[in-house]
């Protein structure tokens, strides 16, 4: 199986990369600047040419859109959330996902039971809104919406799409108070990605298989 993972240089992305590589899958990983990985900043459209060249005409069986940022953590409504924060967050967490799928769509069509896994967050759920982190929450809600709509349009092409909450993980992004470790999150996500097929396309699930409200 050929797996492509964005944001594979650290955290959950690196853990996923290691797991697929260890079980013998071919893995193409991207990162903004990590030796051995394809250079890609998903917020920079011109960078996708490097990804296209790296993948070339190889079929892609699983695309994991993991790259993301969370830059508005702890900001206050009264003086935070600058326009630049919104622009950067959406360019990475939403547009970056779309451009990744678009760049590899032909490769996915050639894959075996092809699947796309989009890392969103429970913070993007409309029903679980709890305030704060407006840019991040809105971007993850948009990523969820994007994934749901892609699932509709890609189903006739027999490409399944799943949207996932990786858990509150103890990473640089999640912080030291996270509920689970990277290994636990990665193991759960791999199991969920293995389960994804056309019968579950459009799903919004946690790392351990629980359905989330949209």
The predicted-structure confidence for 33-45, as pLDDT tens digits, reads as follows 999 999 999 999 9
Residue 172: what pLDDT? Answer: 62
Where are the domains positioned within the chain?
2-206
- So what's the pLDDT on residue 210? 96
Q: Specify the CATH architecture of the domain 2-206.
A: 3-Layer(aba) Sandwich (3.40)
Q: What is the mean pLDDT of the chain?
A: 95
Whole-angstrom Cα distance, residue 29 to residue 10? Answer: 11
Question: For 163-203, how does the pLDDT look when each residue is reduced to its tens digit (9 = 90+)?
Answer: 999 987 776 666 666 678 889 999 999 999 999 999 999 99
pTM here is 0.95
Are the CB atoms for 164 and 33 separated by under 8 Å?
no
Q: 3-class SS at 139?
A: helix
Instruction: Report yes or no: 167 and 121 within 8 Å, Cβ to Cβ.
Output: no
């Amino acid at each position: 199986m050929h797996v492509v993972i964005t944001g594979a240089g650290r955290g959950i992305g690196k853990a996923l990369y290691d797991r697929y590589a260890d079980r013998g899958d071919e893995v193409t990983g991207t990162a903004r600047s990590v030796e051995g990985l394809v250079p890609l900043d998903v917020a920079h459209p011109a960078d996708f040419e490097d990804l296209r060249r790296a993948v070339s005409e190889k079929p892609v069986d699983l695309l994991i859109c993991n790259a993301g940022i969370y830059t508005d953590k702890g900001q206050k409504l009264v003086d935070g959330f600058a326009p630049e924060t919104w622009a950067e967050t959406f360019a990475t967490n939403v547009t970056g996902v779309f451009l990744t799928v678009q760049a590899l769509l032909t490769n996915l069509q050639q894959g075996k039971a092809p699947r796309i896994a989009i890392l969103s967050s429970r913070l993007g759920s409309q029903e679980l809104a709890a305030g704060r982190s407006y840019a991040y929450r809105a971007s993850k809600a948009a990523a969820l919406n994007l994934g749901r709509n892609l699932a509709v349009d890609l189903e006739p092409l027999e490409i399944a799409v799943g949207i996932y909450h990786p858990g509150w993980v103890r990473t640089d992004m999640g912080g030291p108070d996270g509920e689970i470790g990277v290994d636990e999150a990665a193991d759960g996500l791999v199991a969920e990605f293995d389960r994804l097929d056309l019968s579950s396309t459009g799903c919004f699930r946690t790392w351990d298989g629980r359905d989330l409200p949209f």
